[in-house]
Amino acid sequence: MKEKNQLVNSKKLSNIIAKSMKDKKAKEVSIINLEKIKNSICDYFVICSGNSDIQLDSIAENIEKKVYENTNEKPWKKEGEFNKEWLILDFVNVVAHVFLKEKRYHYNLDKLWGDGNNIIEK
């Protein structure tokens, strides 16, 4: 069973990540709450789209910077730094996905994890 503090921290972390994405002009930022899905891999997915590999790098760097400033946490794991189509920053309870727009629609995580409560941020 997850402790209440962990749930609050996961929610706070997902909001910090979403804001840091928007700070770098990410498009279609969404937070998917996976807490009620049995055997989910984390508490939240935070997903966004970018227009270029340079923007993806900028968004990912800002996520790391803002999360560290606010929580003193670093990602447990990072993926996709070389192909620049889909960057993943795994903070264990929250996973940030930074996609090139066309790759986001190809993999369609928003629909795949549609059982979660999806909060789309404009």
Give 119's strand partners: 31
> Under CATH, what is the fold of the domain 4-121?
Beta Polymerase; domain 2 (3.30.460)
pLDDT digits (tens, 9 = 90+) for 3-18: 445 544 999 999 999 9
Please give the model's pTM, rounded to 2 decimal places: 0.85
Cβ–Cβ < 8 Å for 61, 30: no
**pLDDT at residue 84, as a whole number:** 82
Picking from 74, 90, 84, the residue whose alpha carbon sits closest to that of residue 42 is 90
pLDDT digits (tens, 9 = 90+) for 95-106: 999 999 989 888
pLDDT digits (tens, 9 = 90+) for 18-76: 999 999 999 999 999 988 887 888 999 999 999 999 999 999 999 999 999 999 999 99
Q: What stretch of H or E contains 95?
A: strand 94-100
User: CA–CA separation, 56 vs 65, rounded Å?
Assistant: 14
Residue-range domain boundaries for the chain: 4-121
